[in-house]
Amino acid sequence: MIIVADNIRITDQIIADAISQMNPVPIQKMVMECEKAGAQFIDINSGPLSRVPEKQMVFLIDAIQKVSKLPLIVDTANPRAMEAGVRTCKNAPIINGFSLEPSRLEKILPLAREFQTDIIGYLLYPNGHVPPDGDKRLEIALELFEQLKKTGIDEKRLIIDPVIVPLSWQDGKFQAMEVLYVIKHLPDIFGFPIRTIAGLSNLTSGRGHKAQKLIMEKAYLSMLAAAGLSMIMMNVFNRDTIKTVKACNLLVDEKIFAWEEMY
């Protein structure tokens, strides 16, 4: 699994204040810490950026690119901010993302064709609701695939997010198992080894002790790795979960195991 840092997000007050004040230093410090912690990609979750979205997104990406060469995932629902962000990236980023929601199909998906970038597709209904089970998710995956082809985008550019939901939901444990089912069956459905990505923090969002959440995240990481997940979006400052990902990667790697490669 490729490690994607989800730490650069507008819901973090440090990041929100830095954007508001156009101060690159806190953002750059966090990005460098993410890279040091083991991040291989940086997800830039800027939120909607309703005020001067293009300017704020360009500021964010410029700030990050001055201190890091890690590939970027541009994560916003604002089409104007998305376009400005993709244009600012020195190397082609991943667009995050689109779903069957009409506005995303009309405004976000075509950007992947225009800029020849990879794009993440969420397995959600057009109204944004989560499907009840794995089979419904697979049906949506095929619909996303058809929309991708209609737009003229190479099929290999699609990355599927099966959508992890909180364990605290009434059917949270069932949904967690259905996500694994989807990851395992997507290659058979598509006929090629399609890439997948998932947000680990969704699993433990809501109430719960930090130590308990950490245990559940580590356990689920192993299950995601066994299912064949390609990319894991996570808080890279949790050292135990980073160690778990690296251990999982050693186990699923085809190379002969060597203790010297641990961590």
Structurally, the chain folds into a number of domains equal to: 1
Q: What is the CATH number of the domain that holds 89?
A: 3.20.20.20
Contact present, 159 and 198 (Cβ < 8 Å):
no
Listed in sequence order, the DSSP H helices in 66-152 are 79-88, 102-107, 109-115, 134-151
Structural domain harbouring 99: 2-261
The model's pTM: 0.95
Count of beta carbons in the 10 Å neighbourhood of residue 32? 13
Give the containing element (helix H, strand E) for 75: strand 72-75
Calpha distance 24→19 (Å, rounded)? 8
| Alpha-carbon gap, residue 139 to 238, rounded angstroms | 34
212 CB neighbour count, 10 Å cutoff: 10
Over its length of 263 residues, how does the chain's per-residue pLDDT go in tens digits? 999 999 999 999 999 999 989 999 999 999 999 999 999 999 999 877 667 889 999 999 999 999 999 999 999 989 999 999 999 999 999 999 999 999 999 999 999 999 999 999 999 999 999 999 999 999 999 999 999 999 999 999 999 999 999 999 999 999 999 999 999 999 999 999 999 999 999 999 988 899 999 999 999 999 999 999 999 999 999 999 999 999 999 998 888 887 877 76
- Number of other residues whose CB lies within 10 A of the CB of residue 155: 12
Whose tokens are 């376009």? That residue is 83
